[in-house]
Every structure is written in C-alpha cells, then in structure tokens.
C-alpha cells in the first residue's frame, strides 16, 4: 500500500522563497539591501506562479484537442 508522494513544484519554490526572506530579514541591517532583497524574492515568486500557470494552460490546451 505504498503510495508514491509527488511534491508540488510550487510548494518547493515558495519554501525556498520564504527561507530566503527569513535569512535576509535576520541577517540584514541596511534598509536598502532589505528592500532590494525583498524585491528579488517577489520577482522569484511571481516567476514561479507564472510558470505554473503557463504549464497548466499548455497542458489544458493539449488535452482539449
């Protein structure tokens, strides 16, 4: 009764992003670096979401034909 567990890639991307934010917030005193780091992590999250939506849309278009 072994069921193979497959991790959602979006969960992996969000976990990496949250870990990066936590590390950034704990280790940075300069506000400019904090703002830049937060912006980069936000771009990473938006990229991860967009890539999942594009993959889903491509998969749905392929199955409808």
Q: How far apart (Å, rounded) are the C-alpha atoms in residues 55 and 59?
A: 6
Mean of all residue pLDDT scores within the chain:
86
Q: How far apart (Å, rounded) are the C-alpha atoms in residues 8 and 27?
A: 29
What mean pLDDT comes out for the span 28-49? Answer: 95
pTM value is 0.73
What mean pLDDT comes out for the span 52-56? Answer: 79
Closest to 9 measured CA to CA, from 46, 51, 57 = 51
For residue 3, pLDDT over 70 is answered with no
The Cα-based distances of 24 to 10, 21, 28, 44, 46 in angstroms read: 21, 5, 6, 14, 18
- Using pLDDT thresholds of 50, 70 and 90, give the confidence band for residue 46: very high
């Amino acid at each position: 009764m072994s069921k193979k567990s497959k991790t959602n890639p979006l969960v992996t991307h969000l976990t990496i992003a949250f870990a990066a934010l936590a590390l950034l917030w704990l280790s940075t005193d300069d506000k400019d670096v904090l703002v830049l780091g937060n912006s980069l992590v936000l771009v990473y999250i938006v990229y991860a979401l967009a890539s999942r939506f594009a993959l889903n849309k491509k998969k749905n278009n392929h199955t409808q034909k």
